[in-house]
Amino acid sequence: MIQIGIVEDEKKEQEKLLSCLNELQEQEKVSIETHVFSNASSFLEAYHHNYDIVFFDIEMDGMNGMDAAKELRSLDKSVIIIFVTNLAQMAVKGYEVEALDFIVKPIEKATFLLKMKRVFNRTSSKLEDSLEIQEKDGDLRVIHTKDIYYIETSGHYVIYHTSDGDVMEYNTLKAVEKKIHQEKIFVRCNRCYLVILQYLDGVKKENAIIHGTPLLISRPQRKQFLEDVSAFLGGQ
């Protein structure tokens, strides 16, 4: 299921976006769940890495959509941001928050559907990739890879550190690597950690800072790890 957030203070525009997304859902045969927020503050307060795509109206009372998008990007480096605006020239500032696209009001349904189909085509692997986890208590759980910060090995278990808390599975890190389809952003910094580069805050001395947590980069792994970071940041 694709989770979509709409941050828009005009009721009419909210309803238009919802109508377009409902038609997109029928045409593309995808499952979409939408959540609507009338202001940016309430959206940011409720945000817990739980959306795949967020639509921001740029001009809103209180915090505007551009400032809200900057705040969101500081929390989540991978969520897809799309601006909806009356002023097309404002949307060009979207590069500052790596916005994927913008839609000019009044929303024209045919144009919207075409743009969103392109978004889905370009991001389908990101939106759909997930892992089935056999938890320690035997329960089966599905985790979206975009929600994982890093994976740690501990004894005969691996621990998935995610936006929803830690999940433990009886497994090896090597086996987990084989079932991940996004190998370019899941890399080792040492034999104990598989880190997700989209949550890399930086490299300080001997540590990779992953979502605020310092993880040791081993000496044998350092050269390859830094090459992987460089390739990821360069979009390779």
CA dist., res. 45 & res. 109, Å (int): 30
The share of the chain scoring above pLDDT 90, in percent, equals 43
Q: Element (H or E) spanning 42, and its range?
A: helix 40-46
* Helices 109-128 & 11-28 angle (0-180, nearest 10): 60
pLDDT, position 32: 87
128, 155, 171 - which closes a domain = 128
Residue 128's pLDDT is 53
Give the integer Cα–Cα distance in Å for 12 and 34: 16
Gap between the Cα atoms of 202 and 210, Å rounded: 8
Residue with tokens 């005969």: 156
Domain count, the chain: 2
Place of tokens 């969520």: 79
CB 67, CB 39: distance < 8 Å: no
123, amino acid identity: T
123 and 12 within one domain = yes
CATH number at residue 152: 2.40.50.1020
Name residues of the chain where pLDDT drops below 50: none
Three-state DSSP at 63 gives coil
Q: What pTM, to 2 d.p., does this model score?
A: 0.57
Residue pair 215/206 in contact (Cβ under 8 Å)? The answer is no
Domain final position from 82, 110, 128: 128
